Amino acid sequence: MSYINFDDSKISKFINDNEVPEMQALVTAANEQLRQGTGAGADFRDWINLPSDFDKAEFDRIKKAATKIQSDSEVLVVIGIGGSYLGAKMAVDFLNGSFYNSKSKDDRRGVQVFFAGNSLSASYLRELQDFIGDRDFSVNVISKSGTTTEPSIAFRILKEKLIQKYGEAEAAHRIYATTDAKHGALRKEADAAGYETFIIPDGVGGRFSVLTPVGLLPIAATGADLDQLMKGAEQAANDYVDPDLSKNDAYRYAAIRNILYRKGYVTELCENYEPNLRMFSEWWKQLMGESEGKDQKGIYPSSANFSTDLHSLGQYIQEGLRNLFETVIKVKQPPYNVDIPMDDENLDGLNYLKGQSMNEVNDKAYEGVVLAHNDGGVPVLTVEVPDESEFSLGYLIYFFEIAVGISGYLNGINPFNQPGVEAYKKNMFALLGKPGFEDLAEKLNKELEK
């Protein structure tokens, strides 16, 4: 029995009893492709054993760097995009709540953590600099190549701010570069300037990198327990080895997703009932979308935050096109609870909730939504995690990572590449006048003139 509870009881109207067992042969073959490296993208499978097979010395250096950041900075700015940003942001919110960055220094476990380099908005970057103001800060720049446009621009600007404030020597001691072990522009600069560096493993793609230094340093800077995070992931890795669908919930989830997809349920909504899990859905969307959206195939990953979005998307989910299914991330025991007070006048009519708490109401909202959506023709899956601890997060991360690896092979694609991501970059480079893109620039400018 796994640490989390996977509930697929609300698919019986959409999937016959025989269909999941009949996927076993395909799942077993996909498992062999994934475990033995016989499938496409085999060079990017190092995340499978990462929870137990990681550089322990570097792991200790990450903890020490986090302690130093906490001692000399009030703010850590993490510069990265895609997998170099989403995993860390997701984990910071999951483990620390919605208002972590708004808490006073005495009420936080670690430093404030903000993210840059994930857009090309000048306004955002200027507002971030104004917010930092004269306070002490450090920078963690994350890029394997060091030439990705969005983070590279942000790093130039924030590095200049560091140098102006501290001078070049001290600025270098406040810059932490997470990059390639040997190659790339950032590696070259880090070696020349003396930045402390951490390695992005060659065999781990960006969307799978949250349990590498990419995610671990920002997470540690908030005071989170990295040991428990990795132990949770390690437990999941041990629990999800057997490909038997009656024993392996992660593989069962992958199989059910593919059955539904082939029946026309082409959109999956990742949903939550806790606002600080919103970024978990954002991380999940990249993991699923970038892994599976290829060759004109793949489930479209979307998200909803309940009960908030029940007042905006609820109508569509209930009665719109019947091409979507839901995967709910539910926390069994949230970190806090609030009792609902009595009111003598009872103008809002809520006194019937006497003796109940907000968590109880939230649970009933979840149950009511599941029943309503199910009746409306929407399959609902639920992944329930015990709490919002580091152990639970590590376990949950691995659950979805191993599931999407299997799911991708079930759908006949390479789950570990992302060739489509490069298309917009080439066009942007050409339109900006980057050397080497002159012919493409001429073609694009003619198209824009039409």
Identified catalytic residue from 268, 282, 290, 401: 290
Judge contact between 54 and 63, C-beta under 8 A: no
Judge contact between 230 and 212, C-beta under 8 A: no
Judge contact between 252 and 399, C-beta under 8 A: no
Judge contact between 402 and 250, C-beta under 8 A: yes
End-to-end CA distance of the chain: 61
Q: What is the dihedral of CA 407, 5, 232, 246, to 10 degrees?
A: -50
327 membership: H or E segment, kind and range: strand 324-331
Closest CA to 4 of 370, 408, 402, 406: 402
State the chain's maximal CA–CA distance in angstroms: 75
Reported in sequence order, the residue ranges of 94-238 that DSSP labels E, i.e. its strands, are 112-116, 137-142, 175-179, 196-199
Identified catalytic residue from 56, 105, 311, 450: 311
Identified catalytic residue from 425, 426, 442, 443: 425
Residue 99's CB is within 10 A of a number of other CB atoms, namely 10
Backbone angles phi and psi of 380, in degrees to 5: -130, 125
Does the annotation count 311 as an active-site position? yes
List the structure tokens of 18: 């025989």
Judge contact between 268 and 326, C-beta under 8 A: yes
List the structure tokens of 312: 């905006």
Does the annotation count 290 as an active-site position? yes
Judge contact between 193 and 177, C-beta under 8 A: no
CA 425, chain centre distance (Å): 22
Does the annotation count 449 as an active-site position? no
Residue located via tokens 């919110």: 93
Q: Annotated active-site positions, please? A: 290, 311, 425
